[in-house]
Amino acid sequence: MAVNALSDRMVAVIREKEGLAYRLGAGVRGLPDGSWFVSASVGTRPENRERVEQLFDEVTRELATKDLPTSEIERLAARVRQREMLARLSAGARASRLSRLLFEGESAPLAVDGASQARVGPAQLRQAAQSYLGGSEFIHTVAW
């Protein structure tokens, strides 16, 4: 849910408010050693790089220090449930989902169902953001 909130905030701030991205998003993958790999990408022009980095830092810091309103978390959880429902509609989507689950294993984001994500509260989301989107363990790199 923290990565969903990160992606949502990136869209709201970097693309919608600032108009600096033509595509963006964030994802998470579990690694065999139990750590997590969080990736965020922003498609923008090279001259926007510094401003996008600044905005990304602001978004991650805000998620780690402020509780999101429960209504916003509920909206994100509803989006996850909708995505799950749509993914069950076609055989191709079901096959793709199954292959990702088999390839990525138990730590796959797809292994966490919408009902579990719906139980996440503001404090849990902030704590996850503090643990995985900030602090000394989080390595922020920019690739071009």
Higher pLDDT, 106 or 31: 31
pLDDT tens-digit series, residues 56-81: 889 988 998 999 999 999 998 888 88
CATH number of the domain encompassing residue 106: 3.30.830.10
Reported pTM:
0.74
129 alpha-carbon distance from chain centroid: 10
pLDDT for the residue 119 = 81
Q: Which of 96, 112, 13 is nearest to 59 (CA)?
A: 13
pLDDT tens-digit series, residues 79-126: 888 877 877 788 887 787 777 777 776 656 655 666 677 788 888 888
Domain count, the chain: 1
141 occurs within a structural domain: no
34 occurs within a structural domain: yes
CA distances from 14 to 63, 110, 136 (A): 15, 26, 24
64 occurs within a structural domain: yes
78 occurs within a structural domain: yes
Domain around 100: 2-132
The DSSP-derived string for 8-33 is HHHIIIIIIIT---SEEEEEEEE-TT
Provide the angle, in degrees to the nearest 10, between the axes of the packed helices 122-132 and 2-10: 80
CA–CA gap between residue 47 and residue 62 (Å, rounded): 25
pLDDT for the residue 111 = 56
128 occurs within a structural domain: yes
Q: Which residue matches tokens 């902030």? A: 126
66 occurs within a structural domain: yes
